[in-house]
A = this chain, B = another copy of it.
Amino acid sequence: MIITLTTDFGYKDYFVGSMKGVILGINPHAQVIDISHEVEPYNVTAAAYLIKASYLYFPKGTIHVVVVDPGVGSTRRSILVEKNGSYFVGPDNGVFSYIYQEAQKIRIVHLTSQEYFLNPTTQRVPGPTFQGRDIFAPVAAWLSKGIDPLKLGEQIQDPVKLPLAEPRWVNNGTLEGRIIYIDRFGNLITNITRTYFSAVSPPEADQGPITSGKVILKGKILALKGFYAEGKPGEPCVLMNSCGHLEVFINLGNAQQQFEASVGDSIMVRVKRSNA
């Protein structure tokens, strides 16, 4: 059984290692896979995008532990989310907002059964500062051994949701999106998704389907491409990325630096319609 880890714990400390030790102490047969531990500290939105972008590529039954948790130790709840055979374990702070968004059938359990938390000894004292090790890791390990999720706590219906920035129609011909994530290569991932144009009705749908568009970032028109190597070196481009999001890039360059871009920056799509 696979357990993935996504945290802002970084790679220099002992945090991730001790989570793995706790998991393997409970289930020696678990396969623990790192998704990322370099989420920007406390950036719940970035973690939400990462888990959305990767969980579909893991087999059914995989348990995804996400710990980006500025409120650790406070009254925020610890939860388990179950959706189409995938499991998610972490704090109830909105980090699973994208999971809820896409969900048809979903089950959320508030983790309260302390018998599935870290088993304390004289030298191993669980505390309120490291729930990744003391709550989420052991719960994931028990889950990977097949325990019934309902033994871990009570079902809830009101998980915390992030106010995820949705693209909005500024007018009939202009869609405004936002940069939601910037990757290692400086590529700018936006909240405008492949399914967006078909799923969202523009203000006046009878003006016909969208046939072409211009994408504009900070006053600059971006060239539309199918893959990175199509861009000329230095040329600001845009493509539909491997997770179905519109993404700004510069082939062999760094769009973040060239545009001095940040998460939250606005991006415009001007569309033409067949009968406009």
Chain A interfacial positions (CB closer than 8 Å to B): 2, 4, 6, 9-14, 16-18, 20-22, 24-25, 28, 31-39, 41-42, 50-51, 53-59, 62, 70-74, 121, 123-130, 133-134, 183-185, 194, 226-230, 239-242, 244, 251-252
Contact = CB atoms under 8 A, between A and B. Distances in A.
The 8 closest A-B pairs by CB, nearest first: A73-B227, A17-B35, A130-B242, A21-B58, A10-B184, A12-B38, A21-B57, A128-B227
B73 A230 contact: yes
22 contacts: A2-B21, A4-B17, A11-B36, A11-B37, A14-B50, A18-B35, A18-B53, A21-B33, A21-B54, A24-B33, A25-B57, A32-B33, A41-B184, A70-B228, A70-B251, A72-B229, A73-B228, A126-B242, A127-B242, A129-B227, A129-B228, A129-B239
A11 B127 CA distance: 29
A18 B71 CA distance: 28
B25 A59 contact: yes
B24 A59 contact: yes
Contacts of A72: 227-229
B129 A21 contact: no
Contacts of A25: 57-59
A5 to B, nearest CB: 9
Given A38-B11, A242-B134, A33 B17 contact: yes
Contacts of A37: 11
Given A125-B244, A128-B226, A21 B74 contact: no
Contacts of A226: 73, 128
A84 to B, nearest CB: 10
Contacts of A56: 121, 123-124
Given A28-B59, A128-B227, 14 more contacts: A10-B38, A10-B184, A12-B183, A12-B184, A13-B183, A17-B33, A17-B54, A21-B59, A24-B33, A25-B57, A32-B33, A127-B241, A128-B226, A129-B239
B28 A14 contact: no
Nearest to A127: B242
Contacts of A241: 127, 129-130
Contacts of A17: 4, 6, 33-36, 50, 54, 57
B127 A240 contact: yes
Of A37, A53, A55, A228, which is in contact with the most chain B CB atoms at under 10 Å from its CB? Answer: A228
